[in-house]
A = this chain, B = another copy of it.
Amino acid sequence: MAFAQLLIRLPEWLENHLGKDETVLPDLEDRMRLVIELSRLNIEEKTGGPFAAGVFDNKGRLIAPGVNLVENAACSILHAEIVALSLAQKSLNRFDLGDGGKLKYELVTTTEPCAMCYGAIPWAGISRLVCGARDEDARSIGFDEGPKLKNWIDELQLRGIKVHCDVLRDKAASVLHKYAKSGGTIYNSGSR
């Protein structure tokens, strides 16, 4: 019996938005500003939920962006962080982005990761996680972040992954609130 296959691909508007040249953003807030803009556009273009992310190298070069594709791709796995990590690994042809600690890659995400994306981070080989809005901002519009450790930051740091929170938090959270006001779907892990 033939089973389904799933192609993970970015929406067309996203590559158009970023243009033909490489995206290189040496400033951390600029990197966060970019992913927040992608989260806003993901709502506007009706391609998914109000979340975006990006994997950058240590020069600030964007290896792969990600946006939430859950509804349109009919796949609960395709959170922005998962999309960005998968496509960055595919792009570099390496399941451990850090190559055992030799290389430095960063995941920038508009909202602190849910339980799944959190669990994905240690496997992916990134050196640093940078977050905009907090868990509580996502919860405030009705998203459940899932069963997550209280000391989630410590556990990443124990594994050698730095965590940098609250980068342009208000700007990131404002996209979440805009999504909720516009009546966007709040799909949840407690909905069955």
Check if B122 sits within 8 Å of A147, measured CB to CB: yes
CB distance from A118 to the nearest CB of B (A): 6
Interface presence of A173 (CB below 8 A): no
Question: Closest residue to A19 on the B side, CB-wise?
Answer: B1
Given A10-B3, A101-B192, does the pair A156, B146 have CB atoms closer than 8 Å?
Answer: no
Check if B100 sits within 8 Å of A76, measured CB to CB: no
Interface presence of A60 (CB below 8 A): no
Interface presence of A70 (CB below 8 A): yes
CB distance from A161 to the nearest CB of B (A): 8
CB distance from A70 to the nearest CB of B (A): 5
Size of the chain A interface, CB-CB below 8 angstroms: 70
Check if A90 sits within 8 Å of B6, measured CB to CB: yes
Copies in the complex: 2
In the complex, per-residue mask of A146-176: 1 if CB is within 8 Å of any chain B CB, else 0: 1111001001100111000000000000000
Check if A98 sits within 8 Å of B3, measured CB to CB: no
Check if B116 sits within 8 Å of A3, measured CB to CB: no
Question: Closest residue to A185 on the B side, CB-wise?
Answer: B95
Check if A87 sits within 8 Å of B125, measured CB to CB: no
Question: Closest residue to A22 on the B side, CB-wise?
Answer: B1
Check if A74 sits within 8 Å of B100, measured CB to CB: no
Interface presence of A119 (CB below 8 A): yes
Check if A146 sits within 8 Å of B119, measured CB to CB: yes
In the complex, per-residue mask of A58-93: 1 if CB is within 8 Å of any chain B CB, else 0: 000000110000110111110000100111111111
Additional A-B contacts beyond A77-B86, A101-B192, A116-B118 (9; CB < 8 A): A3-B15, A3-B91, A5-B90, A6-B8, A76-B96, A96-B187, A116-B123, A147-B149, A147-B152
- CB-defined A-B contacts under 8 Å, sample of 5: A2-B15, A3-B91, A5-B8, A77-B86, A115-B119
